[in-house]
């Protein structure tokens, strides 16, 4: 069990400021048990946000926006916690990039039960493209121990949906995208995942470490409990800058000319008509006027 | 050299329609820049698709095959794709923003040190720079994206770009790409495809969608109507219906589900929350059936019917059947 000792020692080293009691180290030394998850988390405007574009088209108006954890990242947090609970031990680290408000999102994930947070804050990250974001995530990952890196399959703000795959490539590890089910093997060397493919599902087995991107259907995320929220306040959130990570980023993509979608106006409305009449009328219009059937 | 390169996706022994959309768009771009369009087909026995691609303006079809390329795998296919892009010095590369494209395009791009201008609904050229217009926030706004270097890699939303037949040679060239199969990747254990021939929401031309107003998981009325409308029609659902467990997650239309752009979207018992309207607001024609005359969906609907969907849908289906059997 050389690997077990090695893992336990590494786990101890990483937990040293959190768990100093010898009784805990005794527990840790019992075997190879931990699944270390690194959960990448993005903070995005709530889905009920009315997006408005700035008059000069340079971006969106951010005043008054309510920010939440990207829903797909919430599935990631939940899944990492469930794996930890199922394995009876483990470690869930939340990694967030962006301005100071991102700490709220990290704290929410800590309140759900994650162990610690890493917040990379740097002005250079404002409007960073997925490649740059992945470079930063990769730099953190290289300094962190992990078995599974979770990313949402996309963030519901820019909707690009590519950071997870780029991160996997930068780390030269497998990607398993659009995942709706995960089972960690008993030996903790692989995961079996169910993933969405066009018109169906695929079951794949990936060696660890790997990047998993979460899709809706993976789980139902829990709410943070009050004790959870209290505990989260004391959990460590490590703040890093790009300088600390030794990363310089260079934009691969740029965006401009933000516009609102073409205004859609209400068309004809049919009220108080007999079902048979209204059906005949509308079906007729779909053929003759709209020409879609 | 192929200035523009497209990835031709094959599903169930057929080229996907998106391949023709990409070929047509690639042709338009290449004509404007003065260059050739190449198409990449990966896997065994793909030469048979070359002639179809030629019809849509592809000058050269590059075939890559090898022992690990029999079934799709992100790592191996990305190596193959990146190999062709490097060998052909392609400046612009187009993928479909399909399930497979979402998996393959970014991995390919990362191998070449760049990112993907993903999910574009239109393209234009600014000099030699490709500019992709794409929705953000599920369509609540749009913006224009470009790459800062080459290759410029983009993906296009399926079903949006117009196909145009322009006959070109479609000359076949087999390309050998050395695939490093020692790189860690997953292995596929099972593939469970829906064999009913049901079209995916993102590629459907007609969507009959049900929401909270369905009152339960019985979607028979909607299934029947989709059946009447043919193989390009499918059934969708709102977040409320999915969260209630009435429909599968893969059926969800909206900001946390799928953004769809069918020719016809029929919203049944869907009130029209902001996140739902974002996800289907780009549909060409919207029909809404709802008993609440104040439902926000009516502000977006081309044809709004106020009434009981359980009474209207059977009549609607009857009318459709009569019309489509003519």
Q: Are residues A11 and A139 in the same domain?
A: no
As for how many domains chain A has, the answer is 2
pLDDT recorded at residue A23: 37
The answer as to whether B191 is a domain residue is no
CB B119 within 8 A of CB B155: yes
Regarding whether A164 and A51 lie in a shared domain, the answer is: yes
What's the total number of domains in chain B?
2
| A96 and A4 both lie in a single domain | no
pLDDT class of A89 with cuts at 50, 70, 90: confident
State the DSSP H helix or E strand holding residue A276, giving kind and residue range, or none if neither: helix A275-288
End-to-end Cα, chain B, rounded Å: 51
Asked if A200's CB is within 8 angstroms of B74's CB, the reply is: no
DSSP helix/strand/coil, A151: strand
Residues of the domain holding B72: 4-174
Confidence at residue A127, expressed as pLDDT on a 0 to 100 scale: 83
A236-263 pLDDT tens trace: 999 999 999 999 999 999 999 999 998 8
Q: What's the mean pLDDT in B267-272?
A: 98
In the predicted model, is pLDDT for residue A27 greater than 60? no
Within this chain, do residues B168 and B211 fall inside the same structural domain, yes or no?
no
**Closest CA of chain B from A38, distance in Å:** 19
Same domain (yes/no): B300, B225: yes
Over residues A142-157, mean pLDDT: 97
- Give the other-Cβ count within 10 Å of B128's Cβ: 13
One-character DSSP codes across A195-260: EEETTEEEEEEEESSEEEEE-TTS--PPPPPHHHHHHHTTS-EEEE-HHHHT-----SEEEEEEEP
In a domain, A165, yes or no: yes
Region A272-279: mean pLDDT is 97
A278, part of any domain: no
3-state secondary structure of A77: helix
| pLDDT for res A32 | 55
Residues above pLDDT 70, as percent of chain B: 99
In a domain, B180, yes or no: no
Contacts of B314 in chain A (CB under 8 A): 275
CATH of the domain at B147: 3.40.50.620
Residues 59-78 on A with a CB inside 8 Å of B are 60, 71-72
Strand order in the sheet with A253-259: A253-259, B141-147, B129-136, B122-126
CB nearest B315 (choices: A49, A164, A279)? A279
* Same-domain pairing of B51 and B137: yes
> Chain B partners of A261 at a C-beta cutoff of 8 Å?
135, 139-142, 281-282
Residue A274 forms part of a structural domain: no
Q: Has residue B1 got a pLDDT over 90?
A: no
Instruction: Measure the CA angle with vertex B163, ends B159 and B168; round to 5°.
Output: 145
Binary contact (A130, B115; C-beta < 8 A) = yes
User: Residue A100: which domain range?
Assistant: 34-245
Q: Are residues B111 and B29 in the same domain?
A: yes
**Strand ranges (E), A111-199:** 116-120, 148-152, 175-184, 190-197
Q: Is residue B97 part of a domain?
A: yes
The answer to whether position B16 is within a domain reads yes
Specify if A198 maps to a domain: yes
pLDDT, tens digit (0-9, with 9 covering 90-100), for B128-170: 999 999 999 999 999 999 999 999 999 999 989 999 999 999 9
The domain that contains A112 carries what CATH number?
Answer: 3.40.50.620
pLDDT value at position A33? Answer: 64
Chain A interface disruption, residue of B302, B306, B311, B323, most A CBs within 10 A: B302
Q: CATH number of the domain at B304, please.
A: 3.40.50.1220
Same structural domain, A89 and A6: no
Higher pLDDT, A200 or B320: B320
Whether B118 has a pLDDT exceeding 70, the answer reads: yes
Q: Which of A47, A164, A206, A214 to mutate to test the interface with B (most CBs of B within 10 A)?
A: A47
Contacts of B157 in chain A (CB under 8 A): none
ipTM score for this prediction: 0.94
Confidence band for A20, pLDDT divided at 50, 70 and 90:
very low
Q: Is residue B188 part of a domain?
A: no
Kindly state whether residues B39 and B84 are assigned to the same domain.
Answer: yes
Please indicate, yes or no, if residue A265 is contained in any of the structural domains. no
Residue A270 lies in a domain: no
Weakest-pLDDT range from A21-35, A262-276, B280-294, B305-319: A21-35
Distance CA A290, CA B233 (A): 17
pLDDT at A12: 43
3-state secondary structure of A150: strand
pLDDT score at A4? 40
Does A141 score more than 60 pLDDT? Answer: yes
| Residue after which a domain boundary falls, among A208, A227, A245 | A245
- Whether residues A159 and B193 touch (CB distance < 8 A) is answered with no
Where residue A14 falls among pLDDT bands split at 50, 70, 90?
A: very low
Are both A144 and A8 inside the same structural domain? Answer: no
B185 inside domain:
no
Is B211 found in the same domain as B263? Answer: yes
CB-defined contacts A:B, below 8 A? 286
| Co-location of A99 and A148 in the same domain | yes
Are both A28 and A80 inside the same structural domain? Answer: no
Looking at the fold, whether A128 and A234 belong to one and the same domain comes out as yes
- pLDDT-derived band of residue A59, with 50, 70 and 90 as boundaries? very high
Residues A173 and A234 in one domain: yes
| Residues A26 and A147 occupy one common structural domain | no
Mean pLDDT of B109-130: 97
Residues B139 and B241 in one domain: no
C-beta atoms surrounding A137 within 10 Å: 28
CB B146 within 8 A of CB B117: yes
Both A81 and A174 in one domain: the answer is yes
Query: What is the model's pLDDT at position A198?
Result: 85
Between the alpha carbon of residue A220 and those of residues A85, A176, B215, B242, the distances in Å are 15, 20, 22, 12
Same domain flag for B148 and B233: no
A169 has a chain B CB within 8 A of its CB: yes
* Residue of B140, B183, B298 to mutate for A, most A C-beta atoms under 10 A: B140
Per the domain annotation, does A241 fall within a domain? yes
pLDDT computed for residue B202 by the predictor? 87
pLDDT of residue A271 exceeding 60: yes
B213 and B165 together in one domain: no
**Residues in B touching A45 (Cβ below 8 Å):** 137
Q: Is residue A288 part of a domain?
A: no
- Indicate if the pLDDT at residue A136 is higher than 60: yes
Is residue B77 located within the same domain as residue B118? Answer: yes
B33 within some domain: yes
> What is the arithmetic mean of pLDDT over A224-237?
97
Q: Which of A245, A264, A286 is the last residue of a domain?
A: A245
Residue in chain A lying closest to B192 (CA): A201
Q: What is the pLDDT of residue B22?
A: 98
Q: What is the pLDDT of residues A151-165, one digit of tens each?
A: 999 999 999 999 999
- For residue B71, the model assigns a pLDDT of 94
In this structure, the strands spanning B264-268 and B37-42 are: unpaired
Tell whether A60 and A205 lie within a shared domain. Answer: yes
Report the C-alpha gap between A66 and A63 in whole angstroms: 9
| Closest alpha carbon to A37 in A1, A107, A89 | A89
Mean pLDDT of chain B: 96
Residues B127 and B232 in one domain: no
From the number of C-beta atoms within 10 Å of its C-beta (0-12, 13-18, 19+), residue A49 rates as buried
The tens digit of pLDDT for each residue in B169-205 reads: 999 999 999 999 999 999 999 999 877 777 889 889 9
pLDDT at A16: 41
Same domain as B219, residue B140: no
């Amino acid at each position: 069990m050389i690997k077990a000792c090695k893992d336990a020692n590494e786990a101890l080293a990483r937990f040293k400021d959190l768990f100093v009691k010898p009784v805990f180290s005794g527990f840790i030394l019992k075997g190879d048990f931990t699944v270390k998850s690194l959960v990448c988390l993005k903070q995005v405007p709530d889905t009920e946000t009315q997006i408005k574009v700035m008059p000069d088209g340079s971006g969106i108006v951010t005043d008054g926006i309510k920010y939440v954890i990207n829903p797909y990242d919430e599935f990631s947090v939940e899944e990492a916690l469930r794996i930890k609970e199922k394995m009876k031990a483990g470690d869930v680290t939340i990694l967030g990039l962006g301005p100071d408000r991102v700490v709220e999102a990290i704290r929410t994930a800590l309140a759900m039960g994650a162990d610690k947070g890493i917040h990379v804050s740097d002005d250079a990250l404002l409007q960073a493209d997925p490649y740059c974001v992945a470079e930063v995530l990769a730099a953190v990952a290289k300094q962190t121990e992990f078995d599974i890196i979770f990313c949402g399959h996309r963030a519901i703000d820019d909707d690009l949906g590519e950071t997870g795959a780029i991160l996997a490539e930068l780390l030269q590890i497998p990607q398993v995208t659009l995942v709706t089910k995960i089972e960690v093997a008993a030996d903790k060397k692989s995961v079996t995942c169910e993933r969405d493919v066009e018109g169906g599902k695929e079951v794949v087995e990936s060696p660890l470490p790997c990047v998993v991107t979460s899709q809706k259907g993976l789980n139902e995320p829990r709410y943070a409990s009050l004790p959870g929220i209290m505990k989260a306040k004391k959990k460590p959130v490590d703040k890093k800058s790009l300088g600390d990570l030794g990363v310089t980023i260079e934009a691969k993509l740029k965006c401009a000319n933000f516009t609102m979608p073409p205004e859609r106006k209400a068309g004809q409305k049919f009220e108080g008509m007999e079902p048979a009449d209204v059906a005949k009328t509308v079906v007729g219009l779909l053929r003759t006027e709209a020409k879609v059937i | 050299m192929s200035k523009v390169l497209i990835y031709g996706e094959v599903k169930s022994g057929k080229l996907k329609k998106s391949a023709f959309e990409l070929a047509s768009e690639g042709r338009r771009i290449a004509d404007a820049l003065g260059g050739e369009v190449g198409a990449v087909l990966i896997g065994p026995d793909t030469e048979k698709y070359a002639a179809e691609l030629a019809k849509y303006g592809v000058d050269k079809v590059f075939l890559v095959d090898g022992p690990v390329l029999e079934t799709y795998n992100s790592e191996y296919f990305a190596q193959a794709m990146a190999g062709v892009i490097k060998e052909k010095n392609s400046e612009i590369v187009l993928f479909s923003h399909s399930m497979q494209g979402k998996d393959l395009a970014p991995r390919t791009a990362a191998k070449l040190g760049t990112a993907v201008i993903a999910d574009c609904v239109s393209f234009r050229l600014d000099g030699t720079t490709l500019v992709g217009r794409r929705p953000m926030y599920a369509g609540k706004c749009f913006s224009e994206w470009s790459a800062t270097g080459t290759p410029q890699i983009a993906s296009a939303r399926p079903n949006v770009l117009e196909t145009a037949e322009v006959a070109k040679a479609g000359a076949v060239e087999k390309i050998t790409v050395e695939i490093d199969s020692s790189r860690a990747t997953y292995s596929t254990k099972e593939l469970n495809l829906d064999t009913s021939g049901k079209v995916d929401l993102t590629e459907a031309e007609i969507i009959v969608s049900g929401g909270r107003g369905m009152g339960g998981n019985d979607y028979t009325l909607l299934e029947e109507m989709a059946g009447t409308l043919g193989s390009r029609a499918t059934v969708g659902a709102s977040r409320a219906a999915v969260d209630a467990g009435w429909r599968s997650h893969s059926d969800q239309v909206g900001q946390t589900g799928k953004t769809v752009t069918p020719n016809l979207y029929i919203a049944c018992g869907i009130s029209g929350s902001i996140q739902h309207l974002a996800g289907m607001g780009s549909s060409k024609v919207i029909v809404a059936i709802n008993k609440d005359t104040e439902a926000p969906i009516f502000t977006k609907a081309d044809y709004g019917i106020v009434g009981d969907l359980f009474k209207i849908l059977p009549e609607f289906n009857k009318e459709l059947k009569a019309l489509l059997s003519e």
